[in-house]
Amino acid sequence: MDGAADADSSPMHVVIFPWLAFGHLLPGLELARRLASRGHRVSFVSTPRNLARLPPLPPALAPRVDLVALPLPRIDGLPDGAESTNDVPYDAFGLHRKAFDGLAAPFAAFLDAACAPGGNRPDWVVVDNFHHWAAAAAADRHDLQCLRSRSR
């Protein structure tokens, strides 16, 4: 590809939601940058603190990448501000995963908003293996004709 979206198709909208560890966030952001450099729209989903700690996007790509903040639910025993695995003591990883699972409903609401009239319907949803609930959310919206189907 020459850096722009294929001439015979409109740009895609890709949702990227990596696991809350910088070894996942940074490669996910690189994927977002590469997709945006090819003219596609990207919604990069994470928690507010993690998004704030990411390196800035190049100004030319920033308009094509939406940083979507989903606040991590508060879980008793999890330190305040523990949004990345870097912030969590080893013995609290289970609590961190439990808090992460609390993002299922906000993520579904994000997809619903993207599917609403005037929204930017996603073509692809890219998640890590920790997001056991994300595939069902995307599949439900695909069945409702929300997520666009593309043939190539």
pLDDT at 1: 41
DSSP 108: H
The confidence score (pLDDT) of residue 152 equals 40
> What is the pTM for the complete model shown?
0.87
User: Does residue 7 fall inside a structural domain?
Assistant: no
Instruction: Check 66, 87, 101, 128 and give the catalytic one.
Output: 128
Is residue 45 assigned to a domain?
yes
CATH for 23: 3.40.50.2000
Check residue 146 and give its pLDDT.
67
Spot the catalytic one: 24, 40, 96, 131.
24
- Would residue 79 count as lying in a domain? yes
pLDDT tens by residue, 78-87: 998 999 999 9
What are φ and ψ of residue 38, in 5° steps? -100, 10
Residue 114 within any structural domain of the chain: yes
Q: Which residue from 70, 12, 74, 71 is spatially nearest to 39, judged by alpha carbons?
A: 12
CA distance 56 to 62: 8
Q: Is 92 helix (H, G, I), strand (E, B) or coil?
A: helix
Q: What is the distance between the alpha carbons of residues 115 and 132, in angstroms, rounded to a whole number?
A: 21
pLDDT at 63: 97
Low-confidence ranges of the chain (pLDDT < 50): 1-8, 150-152
Tell me, yes or no, whether 152 lies in a domain: no
Tell me if 2 is assigned to some domain. Answer: no
Residue 30, domain member (yes or no)? yes
Amino acid occupying residue 107: F
Whether 100 is covered by a domain: the verdict is yes
24 in active site: yes
Q: Are 12 and 123 contacting, i.e. CB atoms less than 8 angstroms apart?
A: yes
Tally of CA atoms within 13 A in the half-sphere of 88 that contains its CB: 21
Closest CA to 100 of 43, 46, 31, 148: 46
For 25-52, the pLDDT digits (tens) are 999 999 999 999 999 999 999 999 999 9
Question: 132 an active-site residue?
Answer: no
The Cα–Cα gap between 82 and 89 comes to 9
The count of structural domains within the chain is: 1
Among 28, 58, 26, 24, CA closest to 42: 28
**What pLDDT score was predicted for residue 145?**
60
Segments forming the whole domain that contains residue 131: 13-143
